[in-house]
Amino acid sequence: MGLACAATALLGQSSVGPVFGYGDFTVEAKIESEFLAIPDAKLAGQHLKTLTAQPHLSATPEDRATAEYVAQKFRAAGLETEIVPYRVLLNRPLEQRVEAFDSTGRQLMSGPTKEHVDGDKFQDNPRVTMPFHGSSASGDVTGDVVYANYGRIEDFDQLASQHIDLHGKIVVVRYGNNFRGIKVYLAEQRGAVGVLIYSDPQDDGYYKGDPWPMGPWRPETGVQSGSVQNLSRYAGDPETPGVASTPDLPDSARLPADKTGNQPHIPSLPLSYHDAAPILRALAGPGAPQGWQGALPFRYHLGGSGGVRVHIVSKQDYALRTIWDVIGKVKGATAPDEWVVTGNHRDAWVYGAVDPSSGTATMLEAVHGVGGLLKQGWRPRRTMVFCSWDAEEQGLIGSTEWVEQNGEALRHAVAYFNVDVAVSGPDFSASAVPSLKQFVREVTRSVPSPLGATVYDQWKIQRTDGNPNRTSDAPENQGEVRMGDLGSGSDFTPFFQHVGVPSTDIGSGGPYGVYHSAFDNFDWFVQNADPHFVYLEQMARVLGLEAVRMADADVLPYDYVAYANSIGSYSATVKRKAQDAGMGGLDFGPLDAALGRFKAAAQKVHGLQVAPAGDLAKLNGALRQTEGAFMADEGLPNRPWYRHTVFAPGLYTGYAAVVIPGVSEAIDSRDQPLAKGQLEVLTRAVDRATAALNGAE
């Protein structure tokens, strides 16, 4: 209650000064202050409790029940709501076994051990599915063990340089540093027959702090489930890249199960360190490099032939299963074809209190706020769409299938605002397309923080530790808080990197060691993340305000000057990389010239945006087409589903963004003709974006 007053006071005092995208902000300021007063910490806590009462893995009855809960809240807010089903390929574990033996044949361990701590009241629910890897292969394999650290490309290269052959081996890697699907993909490429991925206590266990239930970190038997899709190839249903898996899609339109392009062919299992430790402890061979040593109480070794042998049995039940997105719409009053899309996934590996239910509670309270405005007679100028995605955890499936089905309408979408892990603590963070970074900063300046002042103020303090040299991502934003680029690992990927909708992703973080385990439950959340749900309320305000401000803007608040500066700095970095790789002959001249023209056009349009007048429909039309101009029809080399020429998930990182991916990765693979071709593709994309902006006058 106190916070709602603070919000109103905050907006009341701040002079209704210029807000990017608005000529006169007076009317909108009143709407926003009414919106900010509605999201409610207590209600958010109730949503969270309801959503996390049962495990709700995608395509289960409990998942369906959460879809109905969300649909009911959408309808209560006045949204035109439907539950949209897709029929997609999903696996469930039937049988999973791991056993290890030393060179004398003595058994070292047999598992997996069930997740267990003393005092957790959620762990014994019979509806908890055993931890598993989405998209993993079935198999019965035995091999000698090699330890490969995080399973990064440099880790595998290091093993190769030490002449440790992976053919026929079982690779043990730890979680962290890259997307788990990349670990399995690289192990398979190097000849491994199976992979075990475990959680080292150094990365999210006792080395960091007290484990659950004493503290927030991963306990001895805690296991991280997760998808091992190769997300960097494409997202979504493995059998239907580029095509929506509607319930009536004929099977003939699907790829055969053994011909999918984003699934591994070797089995992999997730493990706790309780189960991994006896294997690692017994490994002989060369000592692990210092950076490979984790926090288990013995020296790590690389293993190799003739040492520890592991037997893996994995039987996965693959089937076409029905999943449910929930889509709620408010039709725009003056620009109904311009969609402002907000989304969050709903499916969880187990209870998913943080991931994703904190995001769902956040979105439901944002929708509650929008519903409050609707009841007062407000109508947004643009159409608002709120989406509760299913099967995100298995490979961004619900969002990807919906984007593939609605590609035509999404050509007119003006933004996608994502939230996934909304709250695991008090530290706000955000990633965005460069054109929306300043927009996100402005929105956070309008939302109060439970710690006092605004979300923006607290974000800046925490991101800089008081050191002003640690701010700013571009020269024109000196002193601003730095924001990340969008890589992958959540539902913005199909919107941003497949169809070119400008996107943002927000969260509020803290110590969180129970990711994707049964211990990410309501009790953990209340003890460790947000006891009074005030950060859920804060995130509902930020997410909702992004949508409301974008939906009502006179002029789309995209900052293409910042975008031009970002591409300029990416280009300079990649140019240096080319020189370092001995590819100094690559001609960046045409790209630099194109970027100069793009920046000039952006500056001209920026002038029109700050003083909106005249033909705003034309200006907005031009702005709307600019992001799409960066998309290449043919897509990126070897991954045509990814079409953005400036941003993609790294081929070998998965979560992290790689910028100017076509050129950058061609240089990585020392392919000069490909790099030259990709420079031309990028240059043409920048020229298309310039032409789009020039259409504003």
Torsion-angle region of 322 (φ positive above 0: left; ψ -120 to 50: alpha; else: beta): beta
CA 674/CA 160 separation, integer angstroms: 27
CA 179/CA 654 separation, integer angstroms: 5
How many residues in the shown chain lie near Zn ion by CB under 5 A? Answer: 3
Question: Which CB sits closer to Zn ion, 300 or 492?
Answer: 492
Provide the minimum distance between the beta carbon of 520 and Zn ion in the complex, in angstroms, as a whole number. Answer: 10
Provide the minimum distance between the beta carbon of 503 and Zn ion in the complex, in angstroms, as a whole number. Answer: 16
Question: Which CB sits closer to Zn ion, 35 or 386?
Answer: 386
257, 275, 307, 658 from 594: Cα distances, Å: 44, 55, 58, 21
Provide the minimum distance between the beta carbon of 185 and Zn ion in the complex, in angstroms, as a whole number. Answer: 21
Provide the minimum distance between the beta carbon of 464 and Zn ion in the complex, in angstroms, as a whole number. Answer: 28
Question: Which CB sits closer to Zn ion, 194 or 398?
Answer: 398
The torsion of the CA quartet 295, 298, 300, 305, rounded to 10 degrees, works out to -140
Provide the minimum distance between the beta carbon of 633 and Zn ion in the complex, in angstroms, as a whole number. Answer: 31
DSSP single-letter state for residue 488: S
Determine whether 251 is exposed, middle or buried from the number of CB atoms within 10 Å of its CB (0-12, 13-18, 19+).
exposed
Q: How far does CA 513 lie from the centroid of its chain?
A: 18
Provide the minimum distance between the beta carbon of 175 and Zn ion in the complex, in angstroms, as a whole number. Answer: 15
CA 20/CA 439 separation, integer angstroms: 8
Q: 400 to 429, contacts with Zn ion by CB under 5 A?
A: 420
Q: How far does CA 559 lie from the centroid of its chain?
A: 23
Q: Kindly indicate which of the ranges 7-15, 347-355, 542-550, 634-642 contains the residues binding Zn ion, using the contact rule CB under 5 A.
A: 347-355
Residue from 176, 303, 356, 557 binding Zn ion (CB under 5 A): 356
Q: Copy the structure tokens of residue 7.
A: 């919000």
Q: Kindly indicate which of the ranges 244-252, 348-356, 402-410, 437-445 contains the residues binding Zn ion, using the contact rule CB under 5 A.
A: 348-356
Q: What is the separation, in whole angstroms, between the first and last Cα of the chain? A: 47
Give yes or no for a contact between 146 and 165, defined as CB atoms under 8 angstroms apart: no
Q: How far does CA 452 lie from the centroid of its chain?
A: 29
DSSP single-letter state for residue 648: E
Question: Which CB sits closer to Zn ion, 58 or 178?
Answer: 58
Give yes or no for a contact between 481 and 454, defined as CB atoms under 8 angstroms apart: no
The bridge status of strand 382-389 relative to strand 309-330 is antiparallel
Neighbours of 66 (CB within 10 A): 26
Provide the minimum distance between the beta carbon of 350 and Zn ion in the complex, in angstroms, as a whole number. Answer: 12
Q: Copy the structure tokens of residue 445.
A: 């300046």
Q: Kindly indicate which of the ranges 180-188, 354-362, 409-417, 608-616 contains the residues binding Zn ion, using the contact rule CB under 5 A.
A: 354-362
- Measured CA angle at 130 (ends 314, 303), to 5 deg: 50
Q: How far does CA 662 lie from the centroid of its chain?
A: 21
Q: Is 220 a catalytic residue?
A: no
Provide the minimum distance between the beta carbon of 653 and Zn ion in the complex, in angstroms, as a whole number. Answer: 18
Question: Which CB sits closer to Zn ion, 346 or 541?
Answer: 346
CA 500/CA 628 separation, integer angstroms: 5
Q: Copy the structure tokens of residue 169.
A: 């081996």
84, 462, 560 from 294: Cα distances, Å: 45, 28, 44
Catalytic residue among 32, 220, 392, 537: 392
Q: Which amino acid is at 606?
A: H
CA 663/CA 671 separation, integer angstroms: 10
Q: Kindly indicate which of the ranges 19-27, 124-132, 244-252, 356-364 contains the residues binding Zn ion, using the contact rule CB under 5 A.
A: 356-364
Question: Which CB sits closer to Zn ion, 67 or 595?
Answer: 67
Provide the minimum distance between the beta carbon of 441 and Zn ion in the complex, in angstroms, as a whole number. Answer: 24
Can you say whether the dihedral through the CA atoms of 212, 218, 221, 225 is positive or negative? positive
Provide the minimum distance between the beta carbon of 355 and Zn ion in the complex, in angstroms, as a whole number. Answer: 4
Q: 209 to 228, contacts with Zn ion by CB under 5 A?
A: none
Question: Which CB sits closer to Zn ion, 279 or 348?
Answer: 348
Q: 454 to 513, contacts with Zn ion by CB under 5 A?
A: none
Phi, psi dihedral angles at 13 (to 5 degrees)? -75, -45
Determine whether 221 is exposed, middle or buried from the number of CB atoms within 10 Å of its CB (0-12, 13-18, 19+).
buried
Q: How far does CA 400 lie from the centroid of its chain?
A: 13
CA 542/CA 422 separation, integer angstroms: 11
Question: Which CB sits closer to Zn ion, 348 or 547?
Answer: 348
Q: Kindly indicate which of the ranges 246-254, 351-359, 499-507, 623-631 contains the residues binding Zn ion, using the contact rule CB under 5 A.
A: 351-359
CA 303/CA 159 separation, integer angstroms: 10
Q: 184 to 203, contacts with Zn ion by CB under 5 A?
A: none
Q: Is 355 in the site for Zn ion (CB under 5 A)?
A: yes
Question: Which CB sits closer to Zn ion, 420 or 537?
Answer: 420
- Three-state secondary structure call for residue 55: coil
Of 51, 56, 50, the residue nearest 518 (C-alpha): 56
Of 427, 535, 530, the residue nearest 481 (C-alpha): 427
- Three-state secondary structure call for residue 679: helix
Question: Which CB sits closer to Zn ion, 356 or 371?
Answer: 356
Provide the minimum distance between the beta carbon of 424 and Zn ion in the complex, in angstroms, as a whole number. Answer: 11
Question: Which CB sits closer to Zn ion, 115 or 420?
Answer: 420
Provide the minimum distance between the beta carbon of 128 and Zn ion in the complex, in angstroms, as a whole number. Answer: 18
Of 129, 127, 101, 130, the residue nearest 113 (C-alpha): 130
Question: Which CB sits closer to Zn ion, 393 or 554?
Answer: 393
String of b and e for 441-463 (b: at least 16 CB within 10 Å)?
A: bbbbbbbbbbeeebbbbbbbebb
Binding site residues, Zn ion, CB under 5 A: 355-356, 420
Catalytic residues: 392
